[in-house]
Amino acid sequence: MLEAVSALDAASFNGFARIEEAGLRGMITLRGDLGSTGVKNAATGVAGVDMPGRREANCVGEKGIAWMSPDELLVLVPYAEAEHAAGVISRALAGEHALVANVSDARAMFYVSGDGAREVLAKLSPADMHPETFRPGQIRRTRLAQVPAGFWMRDTETFEVICFRSVADYVFGLLKNAAQPGSEIGYF
């Protein structure tokens, strides 16, 4: 059996914020009617957190649920549990119009942490990163330079950033460049 590896094998960089590839993380795309009890129960049952509202992400450790769009959730579980968890959700929604896909190997995740973390993302994305606008518990899907990405805050100074695995190296490069010592703007 081949051993799974993450896109950049936990590469890291210390600038005015710390950039670190998160390694293997389990991610399940769940599309369906987010108002349905079946979908809510399937997602919360696997992730062990409350159902998020619009643009919210409820995360505890490596588990969580993020609101991706009016009909899409991202369910987070430890990597080793993802295939099993996707099966559990699929079976729970057998009679419903829903889509469940284990996308863990299609994605990469980065941690961006430290005082300057907010500024690093503000340099790369058109999202409003003001501390009063974007806070822990929220998710923002946007772009980082030229590629789609999404992020939420694990705590007041740690962001978890997701992107497609195929652009992981590009995103790592962007984040490193934006965090270069000496390039602080000090806006926030």
Partner 1 sequence: MLILHCPNCGIDADETELAAGGEAHLKRFGPGSGDEEFEDYLFKRENPKGVHFERWRHAAGCGKWFHAARCTTTLEVFGTYSAQTTEPPKEICDKISGKRPGWAWRLFK
Q: What residue ranges bind partner 1 (CB under 8 A)?
A: 54-55, 68-70, 72, 126, 128, 140-143, 148
Strands of the sheet containing 63-69, edge to edge, are 57-60, 63-69, 72-77, 26-31, 99-102
DSSP states along 75-138: EEE-GGGHHHHHHHHHHHTTTSS-EEEE-GGGEEEEEEESTTHHHHHHHH--S---TTTS-TTB
Work out how close the CB of 95 gets to partner 1 at its nearest, in angstroms, rounded to a whole number.
Answer: 25
CB of 147 to partner 1, least distance (A): 8
Residue closer to partner 1 by CB (options 90, 142) is 142
Between residues 54 and 91, which has the closer beta carbon with respect to partner 1? 54
| Between 104 and 125, CB nearer to partner 1 | 125
Which C-beta is closer to partner 1: that of 120 or that of 139? 139
* Residue 69: CB minimum distance to partner 1, A: 4
Neighbours of 23 (CB within 10 A): 16
| Rounded least distance, CB 106 to partner 1, Å | 15
Q: Provide CB contacts within 8 A for 41, sequence distance 6+.
A: 92
Q: Closest approach of Cβ 68 to partner 1, in Å?
A: 7
Q: Which helix (H) or strand (E) holds 41?
A: helix 37-47
Helix axes 37-47, 82-92, angle to 10 degrees: 160
Alpha carbons 146 and 41: distance in angstroms, whole number: 36
Cβ proximity to partner 1, 96 vs 128, nearer residue: 128
Provide the terminal-to-terminal Cα distance of the chain, rounded to the nearest Å.
Answer: 48
